[in-house]
Amino acid sequence: MTQASALRAAAVLERKRIRKERFAQLRRNPAFILGALLLGMWLIAALFGNFLTRFEPGGVDVLNVNKRPSDEFWFGTDNIGRDVYSRVVAGTRPIIFMAFSATAIGTLFGTTLGLLTGYMKGRFDVIVMRILDAISALPVIVIALLALAALEGQSEVITVLIIGFVFTPIIARTVRAAVLYEAELDYVAAAKLRTEKMPHILFVEILPNVLPPIIVEFTIRLGYAVFAIATLSFLGVGVELGSPNWGSQVAENYSGIFGNLWWATVFPAGAIATLAIGINLIADSIMEAFEI
Amino acid sequence: MLKYVAKRLGLALLTVFVVTTAIFFMTNILPGDPATRILGNLAEPENVAKLRKDLGLDRPLLAQYWTWLSNTLQGDLGNSIQHRVPVVDYILPAIGLSLRLAAIAFLLTVPLSIIGGITAGVMRGKPVDRVITVGGLSAAVVPEFVWAVLLVLIVGVRLKWLPTSAYPGPDEGLLTYVYHLILPSIALVLVLFGYISRIARAGVIEAFDSDYVRTATLKGLPRRKVVNKHVLRNALLPSIAVIASQVPYLIGGLVAVERVFNYPGFGTILIKAVQYRDYPVLQSSVLIVAVVIVLAQLIADILFAVLNPRIRQGIER
């Protein structure tokens, strides 16, 4: 017993050391630092937006329409005189909140499904994966458009649920692949011999060991959620009309670029780009550090 | 080989069937009555009832499903509620326009991303590799419409290098069409480049690490020959599979890019169908999207088998 427990303690220590080393490697990666700075900046804007705006984000000012960026209007004003800077700041919270919620939902269901299908091979696995394959064959944007047309309204909740739903099979596939490998290992066989129940084996034994790919998948999907939500709001579906969404801001103002009124479009567009790139840089660095 | 193709074909048909069923039930089972949604909440109950009857909504759901399925199989996609014309007549010209845009985007993307991926793989670890890999993937996560508006502003309005309209009018020559579609295509290329080049790069690196390349190097072949004869051939295989898997993203991107350029293609029709609750158009559009995607996957699978001797000769499975 003492020998076994000593071995186990050594294994735990070894795992901790590797993890520590990987985090150290992550912190030294310039791509990770840049990504963290970008995401951090937008997280601050999302959390403390109320204190950072300079004007009422929805406030129309007919005397100051299409003003260039200046000391008064940092990012200029749009075609009905709203302060672009304040609207960009106010637009942070909806997209970040929606993207995180959608990704969390997809990760939760995807992980559960992936654990189940990876562990219970055979017919159940085949049928579930086939249905998931068929659903994930369609582009997110098209599924979302279809569902938003069928369901009443333009609610953010529907958008979040749909994106979470679309992410589920993708995440399930990643988790399933990892579980297929883990399920063959000795510790799972040992747990079975100890007559542990399936939920215990899945969530207590296997789950901690497949966390790295889940974390990577979460980060990648988060970026894609930003992509999808921004695109849907640009297309005028899936968000409340008139709300300060970045995609809606681009949609409302981009006809101005033909007349060189670039600021009301470029700033929200740049916000979308920097948020998406920041998340992607983080995902990429984690993947590199954990060699996935 | 035949068995492999037959199996893939069966899977493709099954996928289309599942998607079709999902589409039908998604638009019909979800809460809310299509007739009320079309006419609005203030409509007279008699009018709603009449429209329900016209649309066949008063029949049992399974009967509706059966009619819809058998009509669809016979090529009858129903009539557009908004335009009162057969869906086929309304959708086909738009699909043609979208296909042009998609074709140009693909013709630009595939060679560019494969060359980019191979360059990155051969220069592995060097700054060129970092730029292509990190740059490509960063470009890929930025939505197409963001690229599109930035391209219009910088390349079209400021530099005046390319026209900012995507559609020159109905009676122009092929080259004029292509010229007008370059700018919108670049927005799509920027999003697709990263994924395809990453796979091509991975293929190159895997080939470099393989025994046969080591053998080729050790027997004294010059590096150029090793790359051309042994590395490239194997690196291209996985790229083919991933190109097909990008078709859904391409279609999603088309919707957004067409909107920016006000291009009267398939994406524009889809958005209009959503706005006007034109269910027959919507269902048919999604069905077509599903068929195109499954077809692309099927072609890729078969191409993959043709190029891969292990599958061609039935060694695997």
B244 and B133, same structural domain? yes
Residue A73's φ and ψ, nearest 5 degrees, are: -110, 95
B299 and B174, same structural domain? no
Q: Who contacts A208 (Cβ-Cβ below 8 Å, separation ≥6)?
A: none
Mean pLDDT of A117-136: 74
Mean pLDDT of B144-153: 93
| Minimum-distance CB partner of A257 among B145, B157, B294 | B157
Taking CB atoms and an 8 Å limit, are B18 and A130 in contact across chains? Answer: yes
How far, in Å, CA of A75 to CA of B60, rounded?
A: 57
Mutate to test the interface with A, among B20, B26, B153 (most CBs of A within 10 A): B153
Nearest to A119 by CA among A213, A192, A11: A192
Of the listed ranges A125-139, A179-193, B270-284, the one predicted with least confidence: A125-139
Query: What is the pLDDT at residue B33?
Result: 65
B131 and B34, same structural domain? no
Q: Is A284 on the interface with B (CB under 8 A)?
A: yes
**Residue position matching structure tokens 């969404």:** A245
Residue B52 pLDDT grade (very low, low, confident, very high; cuts 50, 70, 90): confident
**Cβ-contact A82, A61 below 8 angstroms:** yes
Query: What is the pLDDT at residue B317?
Result: 42
**Cβ-contact B189, B107 below 8 angstroms:** no
| Minimum-distance CB partner of B248 among A137, A223, A279 | A137
Query: What is the pLDDT at residue A287?
Result: 86
DSSP B173-199: -HHHHHHHHHHHHHHHHHHHHHHHHHH
Residues in a beta bridge with A77: A83
How far, in Å, CA of B208 to CA of B240, rounded?
A: 19
Please give the residue of chain A at the shortest CA–CA distance from B16.
A134
- The mean of the pLDDT values for chain B is 83
List CB contacts (< 8 A) between A265 and chain B: 149, 153
B292 and B213, same structural domain? no
How far, in Å, CA of B10 to CA of B45, rounded?
A: 46
How far, in Å, CA of A126 to CA of B164, rounded?
A: 49
**Cβ-contact A106, A167 below 8 angstroms:** yes
Q: Does residue B206 carry a pLDDT above 60?
A: yes
What single-letter amino acid sits at A137? A
B226 to chain A, closest Cα gap in Å: 27
What single-letter amino acid sits at B165? S
Q: Does residue B75 carry a pLDDT above 80?
A: no
B11 and B60, same structural domain? yes
A220 or A65, which is more confident: A220
- CB atoms closer than 10 angstroms to residue B316: 10
How far, in Å, CA of A36 to CA of A33, rounded?
A: 5
pTM recorded for the entire structure: 0.86
Q: Which A positions 130-149 lie with beta carbon below 8 A of chain B?
A: 130-131, 133-135, 137-142, 145-149
Q: What percent of chain A has pLDDT over 90?
A: 25
Query: What is the pLDDT at residue A101?
Result: 96
The alpha-helical segments, DSSP class H, found in B123-173 are 127-140, 144-151
Mean pLDDT of B7-32: 76
B204 and B111, same structural domain? yes
Taking CB atoms and an 8 Å limit, are A134 and B150 in contact across chains? Answer: no
Residue A77's φ and ψ, nearest 5 degrees, are: -125, 155
Taking CB atoms and an 8 Å limit, are A142 and B286 in contact across chains? Answer: yes
ipTM of the complex: 0.86
Buried b (16+ CB within 10 A) or exposed e, B261-281: bebbbbbbbbbbbbebbbbbb
B213 and B106, same structural domain? yes
Extract the tokens encoding A287.
């993947």
Mean pLDDT of A261-283: 92
Taking CB atoms and an 8 Å limit, are B32 and A231 in contact across chains? Answer: no
B311 or B289, which is more confident: B289
B310 and B237, same structural domain? no
How many pairs of residues across A and B have Cβ atoms under 8 Å apart?
146
Taking CB atoms and an 8 Å limit, are B255 and A230 in contact across chains? Answer: no
List CB contacts (< 8 A) between B287 and chain A: none
List CB contacts (< 8 A) between A276 and chain B: 141-143
Taking CB atoms and an 8 Å limit, are B15 and A134 in contact across chains? Answer: yes
**Cβ-contact A36, A76 below 8 angstroms:** no
| Minimum-distance CB partner of A235 among B26, B259, B294 | B259
List CB contacts (< 8 A) between A262 and chain B: 153
Helix/strand/coil for B86: strand
In chain A, where the domains are located? 3-289
Q: Does residue B34 carry a pLDDT above 60?
A: yes
**CATH superfamily label, A3-289:** MetI-like (1.10.3720.10)
CATH code for the domain in which residue B172 is found: 1.10.3720.10
Task: State pLDDT tens for residues A179-205.
Answer: 888 888 888 888 888 888 888 888 888
| Minimum-distance CB partner of B252 among A140, A148, A151 | A140
Extract the tokens encoding B32.
């809310």
Q: Does residue B61 carry a pLDDT above 80?
A: no
| Minimum-distance CB partner of A231 among B145, B152, B273 | B145
A26 to chain B, closest Cα gap in Å: 16
Query: What is the pLDDT at residue B132?
Result: 92
**Cβ-contact B32, A158 below 8 angstroms:** no
Query: What is the pLDDT at residue A147?
Result: 79
B207 and B163, same structural domain? yes
Residue A98 pLDDT grade (very low, low, confident, very high; cuts 50, 70, 90): very high
Taking CB atoms and an 8 Å limit, are A281 and B252 in contact across chains? Answer: no
Buried b (16+ CB within 10 A) or exposed e, A56-68: ebeeebeebebbe
Instruction: Give whole-number Cα distances, B8 to A132, B19, B73, in Å.
Output: 17, 16, 20
- The number of folded domains in chain B is 2
B317 or B242, which is more confident: B242
Instruction: Give whole-number Cα distances, B218 to B221, B223, B235, in Å.
Output: 7, 11, 20
B171 or A39, which is more confident: A39
Q: Is A51 on the interface with B (CB under 8 A)?
A: no
Q: What percent of chain A has pLDDT over 70?
A: 92
Mean pLDDT of B312-316: 57
Residue B46 pLDDT grade (very low, low, confident, very high; cuts 50, 70, 90): confident
How far, in Å, CA of A128 to CA of A185, rounded?
A: 24
Query: What is the pLDDT at residue A72?
Result: 77
How far, in Å, CA of A233 to CA of A85, rounded?
A: 19
Half-sphere exposure of B292 (CA within 13 A, CB side): 20
**Cβ-contact B73, B67 below 8 angstroms:** no
Q: Which A positions 226-265 lie with beta carbon below 8 A of chain B?
A: 226-227, 230-231, 234-237, 247, 250, 254, 257-258, 260, 262, 265
| Minimum-distance CB partner of A131 among B18, B32, B144 | B18
Domain carrying residue B267: 87-275
Q: Is A291 on the interface with B (CB under 8 A)?
A: no
List CB contacts (< 8 A) between B134 and chain A: 31, 281, 284
Mean pLDDT of A118-141: 74
| Minimum-distance CB partner of A262 among B153, B248, B274 | B153
Q: Does residue B316 carry a pLDDT above 60?
A: no
- CB atoms closer than 10 angstroms to residue A1: 5
B123 and B43, same structural domain? no
Q: Is A151 on the interface with B (CB under 8 A)?
A: yes
Taking CB atoms and an 8 Å limit, are A141 and B19 in contact across chains? Answer: no
Task: State pLDDT tens for residues B224-275.
Answer: 888 877 788 777 777 777 787 788 888 889 999 999 998 889 988 988 888 7
Buried b (16+ CB within 10 A) or exposed e, A137-168: bbbbbbbbbbbbbbbeebebebbbbbbbbbbb
**Cβ-contact A107, A93 below 8 angstroms:** no
In residues, how long is chain A?
292
Query: What is the pLDDT at residue B162?
Result: 85
Query: What is the pLDDT at residue A196?
Result: 84
Most confident among A57-61, A159-163, B294-298 (mean pLDDT): A159-163
Extract the tokens encoding A239.
């968000």
B300 and B247, same structural domain? no
B30 and B134, same structural domain? no
Instruction: Give whole-number Cα distances, A191 to A8, A16, A194, in Å.
Output: 14, 22, 5
Query: What is the pLDDT at residue B160?
Result: 84
Query: What is the pLDDT at residue A153?
Result: 58
- The mean of the pLDDT values for chain A is 84
